[in-house]
Chains A and B, each alone.
Chain A
Amino acid sequence: MASPSSTPVEDTIREKITAALDPASLEIHNDSHLHAHHKAMEGSTSRETHFRLIITSEKFRSKMQPARHRLVYTLLKDEMAKEGGIHALQLRTLTPEEAEKRKQAEEGA
């Protein structure tokens, strides 16, 4: 029997987003440990509840931010709806140009 992944949710996020959005870059940060003490997390044993994603994809082009976020939410609908699944999902959704601009701004700062 193959050993199950210790990060099944993160794996699913990566698979689904990679398949659907063909991202130029994809960062997945698991911030769950920062929120483990929150009241909403009482009784939760999952170590994969809070994620922060930074996605750069051509698929975001000519879409406003809410539409981009909805695109990602739709992909991860099951994971978010599931009891004990993803509780919070922070998103930064950029086109390659926006990512480049942001990078330059950060370097300039």
Chain B
Amino acid sequence: MTQPETAVIAAVDTAPRPPRKQNFATKFGQAFSMFRNGKSIAGLCILGFFVLVAIFGDLLAPYGPLDKDFTALRQGPSATHWLGTTHMGEDVLSQLIYGTRGVLVVGFAAGIIATLIAVIIGVTAGYIGGWKSEGLSAVTNVFLVIPALPLMIIVASQYENPSLLLIAGVLALTGWAWGSRVLRAQTMSLRNRDFVQAARANGEPLYRIIAVEMLPNLIAIIASSFVGTVTAAVLGLTTLAFIGVIPITNLNWGTILFWAQQNGAFPDFWWWYVPAGLCIALLGMALSLINFGIDEYVNPRLRSAGERAREMRKKGIKVSSSVTAVRTAPPSGSDPGSGGASAPKHASPAADADAVTPVTPPAPASPDDTTAR
């Protein structure tokens, strides 16, 4: 949202225009600034690890996923089989590594398809307004109401051997509506902002207004809905595989659990079913962390909340008991330092996003404030 403003300021500040190449680079950096925080980076690292495993699975896996070792059936972890073997003597670790590819390919394909649908329908519905917008919104709501998993099961059960793309398509079809709804709301609020009005007054074509003026301001929401859809798709895929709707030839973490359950691995052969579940949880956690980071980028109040509260507590001010901070430590010689620190904060209450108003300033100030408003 701040992008247009900063662009204007930059143009005013530097009289000689910076070279276009650099400008593009900074813009490129800005587009990814939502990932520039601890939570997102941690999530991206875990995700990157899984992506690498998926790409180099052939090199990493000690055995083929379906290689059978009949001398080692249902064996626990050992030096030859790090995560033990299945009832057929297949190496669980190798299955896990090969399964990563199936999960990620379907997850990302579903995420991309769903995000494309969400952006097209959501942004259009938000921009055009009127009965067309209402109609698109109604379609979105219908897809929100339709139960996803039963629909997936019914559609997937119609095919003897559904392809990966078809599975991804079904997952996307049931997963795009939420993102579309959020995007529509955001586009509607952007539509009447000054910079969009200005672009329209300049006679810019519709596609340019949407692509150049609006999309940069929607990127965070699009990214968040993409990550959310991938999470849902991963869970949906593994669930479908576990239920047995997806053919077992498509190896993924859910298939491992399907076999484990079918062959009585629960509860004794823990090495067979625990790692696959943990992998799904770890991947889901990574995606959630990325989304937490994006949320904090979109809503700075979330970011500042924890930091500020911790800061205040260091000064001996208890935030948690009330919004109006009350100093718990008795006033002593060391106090003026913290009193001085809180004074400038009161001077600019608008900048104080956490609304922690120290109790020390004279009381009459606040009634004046309210009457002035």
Is chain B found bound to chain A in the same assembly?
A: no
Residues of A bordering B, CB below 8 Å? none
Q: Which residues of B contact A (CB under 8 A)?
A: none
